[in-house]
Structure 1
């Protein structure tokens, strides 16, 4: 890829047109270079694709700056595993093993559920009673669980001297003990080598490898391993509930939960990398149609939490998959489609068990495992809202820059000729919903951090938080949504990234990007007036998507005393748990009591007239000025970068 083209956003084969209706630009490739010099593809849904477009819009306003001329543009952060590690096959002591098992189940709740916890704990006891009689595939699985559990717990806050002593015993010095567990696992039974004859155990192993790869920032490797797991799952019939009748009840539960876990991971990686889903939406929803069977439920509170969490997360991932297939695959979105998908979000929210609602994160004395379950599930939900509404936000920013350039160039702004129901007005509720979902994401992560329930190497939270922070920074650059304290929200997002960046290389890179973005905002911003639009539409969208997620505090306000102390490597030195109605969660200015507003497809005030947004074409809908067209002729999502 030509570097000059990547920097300027030039489009090969573009030509000026006056009316862009029905016209699309050639899709520009988004290829980033990994550490080995390979060019890897990232698609439209990736936050890094969004980042590149925002960079170009910022540069069109303020000119070159550190944010827009990043020397690491065109590169993709990819971690590596230390070379030359020799397997030791040595298991940790039983106390350390129990600690790592608890870390694994607690920190992956709401993301994957691939074992029956009680049965797996009993199996570990038998392994320690007689390790020489244990089959190598099971030892391999155990080592992978240790690797993931240690990777997620390492450098995070611990609550007791006993836990600190265990971590000290697990400290490998110059060698990462988590990587050593991974090497032991692959030498005992490499899941790739037996891929052709794989069974449910090999799928579990591939899922564990996928999560481990994400924790060390090997996103492309995680994508590859997950693809293998999905193919094996299809071959074993995990996508069809009727296939389970040939198995015992415990085996059926494991098969269903493994498939749900695959669905969650598939939508996460597909959205993060902008690549096609491996699991078809129909197959994902088919396994969830019956919900949680009574046979799945257990008297154990841990089992109930884990099952309810993975079910809710899988349903939220289905919404994300719906957006990826109906919006990003077609590279088009309309307000009608956005309203239809909003109805699905509302149905998900209404069916969510009360103990998993995200406001519970702010309650004191909550079990850290329950807090993390609530965080994972609801961040997944908020990320879906951001993906759905982000194109409308980006269009509005582009429109404001275009109008400002017209005004500076002596041209009459097109807004003076528009009727009250402008394109921006039609999509304004979704623009506000995008910013509000980002704000809630930041607030939820902060609340979990205040309770010391947040691991520092959680790749899911780190990515969702970065996506939200980009939206908040975008709103700081061009204040599309005015009803929040955006400066405080940006400050909070940066501080939480600093907390992660102490130990996580990907979070460190994200922090560099966000700091450069905030510095660009200090140089200049785009004045933006609120669009002419009735509040009833925004209330309808907000009620559907967020409903009872409002408190009385001013949105975006964050108590400075509750900011993470990033100098403490063990955790955030902050007060524990805000009270509901305090400053931990934010709501809309002047928001009163909640009123449920149903989104009916034929509602005249909810469904605006025909209006669709073509990812390629909308930036071409400009005046006849040849110079202006040459500057802004670029796809909505172009080449992206990170390092």
Structure 2
């Protein structure tokens, strides 16, 4: 058997080498127990004091802010773009990405970046730094306005492949490794490949845990306040990305709520203003930027989002049954009821400082500090609206389903109040969707690839798709349309589709989303009305009426967008990018398929996204 020379075992963990270099090992590790026994023996026989057995840093040193535990440098061969091009991409990153996701110590990064261009420059663990730089270049290439929209993906792919060559996920890693993995996850959000996004986010979390970043003591024992805050920003970046990708893909989070709360949030102070004097203050006197303050507000918002996902969606491992949607009481029971979470969202909104509150009527000049604050305010508002949609969509879905079953029956007096409350929730959901569309419409740039004051285009696509499905659902409810006119619903729909059409030149996956929305807009109301009419007439034909399902059994004919890419792939692209059936007739082909698979009990298309397989 080949010996690796390491002091750990893949199953046992750390052995008797107290100063192992393989990261953190917890108390359940067999190797940890062996080390504890050794310390007790030393104390008993030789009187040698040992570290407290409860200390999480007993088995692994405090991770360095950059570089690996391994001290022997590896040879690095890399290619850099021209200095001018590199400066453009770095400037793009600081301007558009860092102000929303301050995972990096900007001062240290800029110092090391300058060393790249000097013959005598020495960077700690140059390999990991070059990996991180290439990830930054890849992500910046996707939003760089000086690059034609059609060339961005190709350019970004070049830098991604370079970063991939330098990325080492076998070694213990470093804080820099976690930063690279987090940004790789964000990079893949801009592509049509969800799987690498999911995997890189998971790798970031696992690497951070191997460094002990999930313990308060790790950051508390950091050498200085800047390093302490960096550790906390990076760990909470893992939590943020974990929740975002779990929301997007409808999968379980890796980090539970207790673990997320274990490490204090970063101070809302950017690193250039961090000093020992204001280490405990949340209101430093010096003038400052607000990247970390925005970041902390987002972390608190996504804490609310996590509870929404766990309470009302299937990400907790328990699939939501379509039949349960008829029982509206599940929405107002328990600590995480719709109304309690709505109150939490309201308190969160009240905590936003004045300089981060949205004012769309007052747009500052681009490139100024005021422009950065305005963009942060817009993005924060977009995120809040999306979280509210996640909260209220189940109410809208449940209300529409109950309206289908009980539309012709008088509402009992003892249920009248709750029915009215749920109707108002459904109405608010539709109004929030319209506001989300309007916010993007007013804040986006004039060109397809221009960020202006909005989120990155891939987030805008998510927000627009989510809002558009809500508007489709709104057209199924006469009660909702009595308050929100169908004219305003269709107007919001047209704006959303126009923006998505603009974005469709970026990638084929966006074109598939717009096609899916058109199919839903045309087919769902027709089929819903027809099936509702059949139900009123008392028809029981299985092809036209909803079937009574046994408890906890999914309808056999439920149509789910998880498989929509397969559904859409049965049609062929025409010259204009549309989808046609074998006979060239789009509408007939779609409606024919909906005849066999549509079920009005199942509004899962409202809460999922047809991602690429």
Check the 8 A contact 2:437/2:496 in 1, yes or no: yes
Matches within 5 A, 1:412-423: 413-415=408-410, 417=412, 419=414, 421=416, 423=418
Alignment correspondent of 1:463? 462
Tell me whether 1:386 sits opposite 2:392 in the alignment: no
The equivalent position to 1:398 in structure 2, one of 398, 401, 415, is: 401
* Structure 2: runs of 5+ lacking an equivalent: 1-75, 270-277, 325-329, 531-537, 565-609
TM-superposed CA distance for 1:632, in Å, is 7.5
The equivalent position to 1:190 in structure 2, one of 141, 150, 167, is: 167
Alignment correspondent of 1:307? 292
**CA distance in 1 between partners of 2:221 and 2:347 (Å):** 33
**CA distance in 2 between partners of 1:334 and 1:509 (Å):** 33
Q: Tell me the alpha carbon deviations over residues 472-506 of structure 1, each in whole angstroms, 9 at most, x when there is no partner.
A: 22213435252362121111111111121111333
Check the 8 A contact 1:361/1:375 in 2, yes or no: no
Q: Sort the Cα spacing of 1:417 and 1:297 in 2 relative to 1 into closer, same or farther, 3 A.
A: closer
Structure with the greater relative contact order (CA < 8 A, sep ≥ 6): 1 or 2? 1
TM-superposed CA distance for 1:418, in Å, is 5.5
**CA distance in 1 between partners of 2:508 and 2:285 (Å):** 41
Q: Sort the Cα spacing of 1:131 and 1:355 in 2 relative to 1 into closer, same or farther, 3 A.
A: farther
**CA distance in 1 between partners of 2:455 and 2:344 (Å):** 32
Alignment correspondent of 2:302? 317
Tell me whether 1:260 sits opposite 2:261 in the alignment: no
Alignment correspondent of 1:639? 560
Q: Sort the Cα spacing of 1:515 and 1:524 in 2 relative to 1 into closer, same or farther, 3 A.
A: same
Q: Tell me the alpha carbon deviations over residues 116-135 of structure 1, each in whole angstroms, 9 at most, x when there is no partner.
A: 22321222111122388551
Decide which structure has the larger Cα Rg and report it: 2
Check the 8 A contact 2:189/2:197 in 1, yes or no: yes
Alignment correspondent of 2:227? 251
Check the 8 A contact 2:188/2:196 in 1, yes or no: yes
The equivalent position to 1:515 in structure 2, one of 508, 518, 522, is: 518
**CA distance in 1 between partners of 2:191 and 2:525 (Å):** 33
TM-superposed CA distance for 1:292, in Å, is 2.8
**CA distance in 1 between partners of 2:197 and 2:243 (Å):** 13
Matches within 5 A, 1:27-426: 89-109=78-98, 111-130=100-119, 133-134=122-123, 135-153=126-144, 158=145, 164=146, 167=147, 176-187=154-165, 189-194=166-171, 197-247=172-222, 248-288=224-264, 292=268, 294-295=278-279, 304-328=289-313, 329=316, 331=320, 333-336=330-333, 337-360=337-360, 363-365=363-365, 367-403=370-406, 413-415=408-410, 417=412, 419=414, 421=416, 423-426=418-421
Q: Tell me the alpha carbon deviations over residues 413-450 of structure 1, each in whole angstroms, 9 at most, x when there is no partner.
A: 22355556265323223212322221221122112215
**CA distance in 1 between partners of 2:285 and 2:197 (Å):** 34
TM-superposed CA distance for 1:313, in Å, is 0.9
TM-superposed CA distance for 1:181, in Å, is 0.6
Moved more, 291-300 or 132-141: 291-300
Q: Sort the Cα spacing of 1:376 and 1:416 in 2 relative to 1 into closer, same or farther, 3 A.
A: closer
- Normalised by the length of structure 2, the TM-score is 0.64
Q: Give the count of matched residue pairs.
A: 438
**CA distance in 2 between partners of 1:632 and 1:468 (Å):** 30
Alignment correspondent of 2:506? 503
RMSD: 3.5
**CA distance in 2 between partners of 1:400 and 1:478 (Å):** 7
